[in-house]
Structure 1
Amino acid sequence: MKHFEANFDGLVGPTHNYAGLSFGNVASQNNAALISNPKAAAKQGLQKAKALADLGLIQGILAPQERPDLYTLRRIGFSGTDANVLQQAALKTPALLNACCSASSMWTANAATVSPSADTRDGKLHFTPANLVDKLHRSIEPITTGRILTATFNDPHYFHHHNHLPEHNSFGDEGAANHTRLCKEYGHAGVELFVYGQEATNPNALKPKKYPARQTLEASMAVARLHQLDDENCVFIQQNPEVIDQGVFHNDVIAVGNQNVLFYHEQAFLNTNNKLDEIRRKLDSELYFIEVPTAQVSINDAVKSYLFNTQIVTLPSGDMAIIAPTDCQENPAVNAYLNELLTLNTPIKQVKYFDVKQSMQNGGGPACLRLRVAMNQDELAAVNQHTLLTDALFNRLNIWVDKHYRDRLSTQDLADPQLIIESRTALDELSQIMKLGSVYQFQR
């Protein structure tokens, strides 16, 4: 049976804006209050997804969340008509309004952790939505995320969906942004790498001093249990607290893996050599550990360019390619390193650059925009086929974006009651295009 890795990219929502909500995410904070272009952002994301489909890869789309999130605003005491709720929040708690208008669900690397059937004891694909408790604007996502994932991977014979973890900092879970999988072939049992920032229940454990460690060891271990993974399928690695304090808020800002390749920065982890030995021991296969030296690429350059928030994909030819933002091409040190990488004896033979600046300015690169799902052909056939990117769906979604999205949005515009109508109208039509059913609260 044929096996492969599919990418499900998050469709950028109609309220894409730069509110600078993510403390610890340098790009998000530095670009706060810029004017955003939701239409351009959505089209950049679609173009990147279409380019991967054109390369012969399986590419899907995950729907955005409903924003503004008036239900959260009502939970915290605002009342009256929808317009009144929005205007009261803008007047009295503008920061909370900004949080309830965030389009950050576009970064589906944070949507969930996924374990393929080759690794799990029950032979099913497992999904656990991330609880994202560290950031208010993301902590309101998990319930709708679960609905969208269930509507996308909708056959219980093949797919096992879990609830998100308890909403407490001890179980802070940021999803696949802190998880990667190494394997010989996608259909073979692999080793799942869970990267955590701190051990929350150990007061003596190392943790960052400036920025929060969003992923806990406790959360990673809980997901591994839920997904029915054996100890031999798991390696738990602590992210270097010093690089978190330099703006590396997720592991996918400092490391990325694909099949038998782990691409990481010299300063990415603690106890690196021992952990690499553990991977070698548990995955009896040829491995390529590509360590990027600080002398060639500083942490600052890695964060600015999102060198490690690239995708490493296996092309139909069997070669691997890096899918990078144009920011990597524009950074002299990173560009020089990538050019050198192509001359080394590794499976990575190409680098392809894409303009995703609307996402990059808010703190997310190409890898943030996708959720990886290793699957076989039977599982792919069981996916909601209306979520898989074809030429027809690509064209229809572009027409849908042109019809519903603004090409200019400031944080002040978030208080516009018309934005509620525009967003709900767009999402109601999208749920029909993608045959999702009633995944949004306003539809229920």
Structure 2
Amino acid sequence: MRLSRTHLASWRYVCILILLGMLLASCSVNNPFTGLSGQDSTSQPKLVNASTTCPEDLKQVTSCLTPYSMRQIYGIQSLIDKGYTGKGQTIIDIVSFGSPTLKKDLDVFSKQFGLPPANVEVIAPLNIPESDPHGDKSGWADETSLDVQIIHALAPEAKIVVLQSPVAETQGTIGLPEFRQLEQYVIDHNVGAIVSQSWGASELTLNDATGQQELQKWDALLQEGTTRKGITYFSSSGDHGATDYADLDSKHLGNVPATSFAASSPWITSVGGTSVRQSAGHATTASERAWNGSGGGFSSIFKMPSYQQSLPGDVQQQFQGRRGVPDVSGDADPYTGLAFYQNGVWNMAGGTSASAPVWAAVMALANQMAGRPLGFINPTLYKLAQSPQYNQLFNDITVGNNNNQAANVKGYPAVKGWDAVTGLGTPRVDKLVPALVDAMKKSS
């Protein structure tokens, strides 16, 4: 299921609700961090617009992020200033249907924020009948624009390939075989080394024999992609906190803890969500807390991978031998999201649909710096997190939780180190990327 269905509010709706969101946030103590500004942003005008002002339609939403402010907050700008822009890298975005206005909207977005023209290719290789049982093509169009514009904002010279399926991925195995064919297409045609996936199917709908058989096929494919082809996969962890839907029509949330696939796969870097708020007048300073909708918990299908066994013993106890989700996180709060443009309207990106492409863009900078695809990064991420460098490489989120009150499911608190809301935390990209590249070069 597309994960941002309820979080693509138009600016009119956001403007009404943002005040409530800000009032609630002000009642909590946030975990502060400072992004590094790097060099003078005017040194590369074709890549940087120093303005931190969102479009006119969103000017009343003070928490709206621009590409420049997001790059500053996460320490990306200093790498861009040094020429690490994703150049020579390809990021694949796997979606259903895509967007008929994708390139036109992306041109408006790029012009608004002073970005170079985007290098985008749309491929629809599956010659099969269209299927959209829930009538959600417009939602997938929003999703596609959101994904691509976030990637372009943070890795402005990376090539983006949108791989489209004519079948809607919903719940259970519906749409998964077709997405798997697209994943195989990436491998067979050497399309690129980074895959971003802003969708998920609740594990509560995959526990039958058909679901298990499909997941076995995915497991073999993802293992091949990571270990033999050097592909790095990112998936959104979900937007329903500590649970997910229990039915194929996505109408009823489960009343038990649950995670979603593909984020729960041990071969994928699962990305949860946070809420980022800029300090007034300062694009380089912000506070961050767990976003309540961030999908997180422990898989009912996949076992605890070896890289998570490096976590401290007291943390491991809650895993009970299961795969923990997420691995990392990024901004996912729809009230603190990046401005993006879709079919004539400026919106704010939200849901973990927004945080997965953030990490995909960061990976493009890492691969460019390494001069090769780094591939499976999870073991190295966890190794770095257990090192004395942890708080230099990650923003450790320690405030918030992912309780789902609507489903009466108690979630998990954000705590020091790894937690089942924000994983290891959000990236300090200017420090994390060089450390990741260096560590993986030494281990290769």
* TM-score for both structures, normalised by structure 2: 0.31
| Bigger radius of gyration | 1
- Please state which structure has a larger fraction of its residues in helix: 1
Greater length-normalized contact order (CA 8 Å, ≥ 6 residues apart): 1
